[in-house]
């Protein structure tokens, strides 16, 4: 009797879990966390966010052991709350991926322009930001249409390289003298600090995307360990980076920058800093963006094949065998969202949107654990559900732009209405 090959080791799982959290758009969120928590407490807000994400990871780990198959979160929610809730969660993941992808395209396009300006590539630097965003999205559409993917070993190497570069730069910055005095406000505003923790959830985005790999893991228990390892690693890396940033510059001065990491690198090491951070950004965007688009297009394809999404999204390219119609659809959604972001001038809208969707998903997964446990041993998952429920509410309070509330409410209502009214008709 054949069984699945158990090939994925803890290291590969952890590298994959870290992957999405190492995106270029994360640095704007780090600055937002520092500004909201108070620069002095940036590390505490990031580490507290890491702690609550570990609580969420425990729930994912329990469910992955219970349902070790490729369906992941959709299967957990289906078993706890039924088909409609499962479809709604899948649609929320699509909203999350589109929002995170739009943020990444916007930030990466801005990074490219800074690199071109710094190295006097005037012709390239003269193209408007919109053109670069379009090109970035188009490039990743092309890469995914052709079906270029990062192999497990390469993913491990890229993740390790990124972490070493990021931590080295942060440690170097921490040991450099600074004329800037970190704001030493005596009191911490509890509400603002908790809101900063909510914003910091974006730094760990997608750590749970390894749960569909449960069948292929050497040991299903290693999934939980890999998620915890990934969250701890990201938590340490970003709290070091955040602390290094606030040592040299006031986060208020970087708050409106799409690329605070590039500005910080320039301040620290001039052109060399831009070069190093540019390399970090290129690798980060390539790994995070590619994995995000590939995963989402396959999710959309599978949903279309299941009859949950319209059939035209299940078209497969007959040469490359990639889900071309789903990829085109994601490209259009991301383009529309980035145009909306440019129109409103609030580039953090997709970041806040993605983080709030993630908080809602973590709340739902905690509730799924409670339901599947038969409402017994409720303390840990119940507390996690309450924490993420509260973080979702805090995420939507000012200074979060009102556009986030509108997009989130609209997205959720549409996803729910689609699951309740449209999916049964498609199934017929």
Partner 1 sequence: MATAEDLFMALEQFVQRFNANKLVKKMVRDWDRHIFISVTDLELASTVVVADDAIKELVPGESGKKDISIIAPADVIIGIFTGKLNPAKEYAKGNVKFVGSPKDEMKVDAIIQYLWS
Q: Does residue number 306 form part of the binding site for partner 1 (CB under 8 A)?
A: yes
Radius of gyration (Cα) for the chain, nearest Å? 21
Q: Binding mask 183-222 vs partner 1 (x if CB under 8 A, - otherwise)?
A: --------------------------------xx------
Q: Does residue number 4 form part of the binding site for partner 1 (CB under 8 A)?
A: yes
Secondary structure class of 148 (helix, strand, coil): coil
How many residues touch partner 1 under the rule CB under 8 A: the total is 27
* DSSP H helices in 26-182: 26-37, 42-66, 73-81, 83-118, 122-125, 129-146, 152-174
Q: Does residue number 301 form part of the binding site for partner 1 (CB under 8 A)?
A: yes
| Residue 366 and residue 217 in contact, taking contact as beta carbons nearer than 8 Å | no
Q: Residue 217 pairs with which residues in a beta bridge?
A: 8
Identify residues 341-360 at the interface with partner 1 (CB under 8 A).
none
Secondary structure class of 254 (helix, strand, coil): helix
Segment interacting with partner 1, rule: CB under 8 A, options 70-78, 381-389, 394-402, 409-417: 70-78
Q: Residue 8 pairs with which residues in a beta bridge?
A: 217
Select the residue interacting with partner 1 from 36, 61, 74, 366 (CB under 8 A): 74
Q: Does residue number 323 form part of the binding site for partner 1 (CB under 8 A)?
A: yes
Q: Report the residue number, 323 or 350, with the smaller CB distance to partner 1.
A: 323
- CA 219 distance to own-chain centroid: 26
**Least distance (Å) between residue 108 CB and partner 1:** 25
Q: Of 337, 8, 334, give the one whose Cα is nearest residue 139.
A: 334
Q: Does residue number 340 form part of the binding site for partner 1 (CB under 8 A)?
A: no
**Least distance (Å) between residue 69 CB and partner 1:** 4
Q: What share of the chain is helix, strand, coil (3-state, %, to 5)?
A: 80, 0, 20
Q: Does residue number 120 form part of the binding site for partner 1 (CB under 8 A)?
A: no
Q: Binding mask 127-166 vs partner 1 (x if CB under 8 A, - otherwise)?
A: --------------------x-x-----------------
Q: Binding mask 48-67 vs partner 1 (x if CB under 8 A, - otherwise)?
A: -------------------x
Segment interacting with partner 1, rule: CB under 8 A, options 2-10, 103-111, 272-280, 334-342: 2-10
Q: From CA 331, how far away is CA 319, in angstroms rounded?
A: 20
**Least distance (Å) between residue 321 CB and partner 1:** 5
* Encoded tokens for 378: 């409720």
Residue at token pair 């973590």? 362
Q: Residue 163 pairs with which residues in a beta bridge?
A: none
Q: Does residue number 69 form part of the binding site for partner 1 (CB under 8 A)?
A: yes
Secondary structure class of 217 (helix, strand, coil): strand
Q: Does residue number 382 form part of the binding site for partner 1 (CB under 8 A)?
A: no
**Least distance (Å) between residue 47 CB and partner 1:** 35
Q: Does residue number 2 form part of the binding site for partner 1 (CB under 8 A)?
A: yes
Secondary structure class of 123 (helix, strand, coil): helix
Q: Taken in order 341, 32, 362, 153, is the CA torsion positive or negative? A: positive
Q: Does residue number 307 form part of the binding site for partner 1 (CB under 8 A)?
A: yes
The three-point CA angle 330-333-334 to 5° equals 85
Residues that bind partner 1 (CB under 8 A): 1-5, 67, 69-71, 74-75, 147, 149, 215-216, 298, 301-302, 305-307, 314, 316, 318, 321-323
């Amino acid at each position: 009797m054949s069984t699945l090959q158990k090939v994925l080791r803890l290291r590969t799982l952890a590298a994959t879990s870290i992957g999405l959290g190492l995106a270029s758009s994360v640095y704007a969120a780090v600055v937002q966390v520092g500004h909201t928590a108070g620069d002095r407490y940036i590390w505490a807000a990031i580490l507290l966010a890491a702690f609550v994400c570990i609580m969420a990871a425990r729930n994912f780990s329990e469910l992955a052991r219970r349902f070790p198959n490729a369906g992941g979160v959709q299967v957990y929610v289906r078993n706890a709350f039924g088909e409609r809730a499962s479809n709604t969660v899948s649609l929320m993941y699509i909203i999350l991926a589109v929002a995170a992808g739009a943020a990444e395209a916007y930030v990466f396009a801005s990074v490219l322009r800074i690199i071109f300006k710094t190295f006097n590539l005037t012709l390239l630097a003269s193209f408007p930001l919109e053109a670069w965003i379009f090109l970035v999205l188009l490039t990743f559409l092309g890469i995914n249409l052709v079906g270029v993917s990062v192999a497990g070993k390469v993913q491990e190497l890229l993740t390790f390289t990124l972490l070493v570069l990021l931590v080295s730069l942060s440690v170097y910055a921490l040991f450099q003298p600074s004329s800037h005095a970190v704001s030493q406000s005596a009191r911490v505003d509890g509400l603002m600090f908790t809101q900063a923790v909510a914003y910091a959830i974006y730094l760990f985005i997608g750590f749970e995307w390894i749960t569909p790999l449960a069948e292929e893991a050497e040991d299903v228990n290693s999934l939980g360990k890999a998620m915890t390892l990934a969250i701890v690693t990201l938590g340490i890396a970003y709290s070091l980076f955040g602390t290094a940033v606030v040592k040299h510059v006031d986060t208020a001065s970087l708050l409106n920058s799409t690329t605070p990491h590039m500005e910080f690198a320039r301040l620290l090491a001039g052109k060399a800093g831009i070069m190093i951070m540019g390399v970090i950004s290129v690798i980060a965007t390539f790994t995070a963006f590619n994995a995000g688009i590939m995963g989402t297009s396959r999710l959309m394809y599978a949903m279309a094949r299941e009859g949950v999404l319209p059939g035209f999204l299940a078209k497969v390219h007959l040469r490359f065998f990639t889900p071309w119609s789903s990829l085109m659809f994601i490209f259009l959604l991301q383009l529309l969202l980035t145009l909306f972001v440019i129109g409103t001038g609030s580039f953090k809208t997709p970041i806040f949107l993605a983080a709030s969707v993630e908080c809602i998903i973590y709340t739902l997964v905690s509730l799924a654990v409670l339901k599947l446990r038969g409402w017994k041993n409720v303390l840990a998952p119940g507390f996690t559900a309450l924490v993420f429920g509260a973080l979702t509410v805090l995420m939507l309070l000012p200074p979060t732009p009102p556009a986030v509330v509108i997009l989130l409410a609209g997205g959720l209502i549409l996803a729910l209405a689609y699951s309740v009214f449209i999916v049964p008709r498609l199934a017929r």
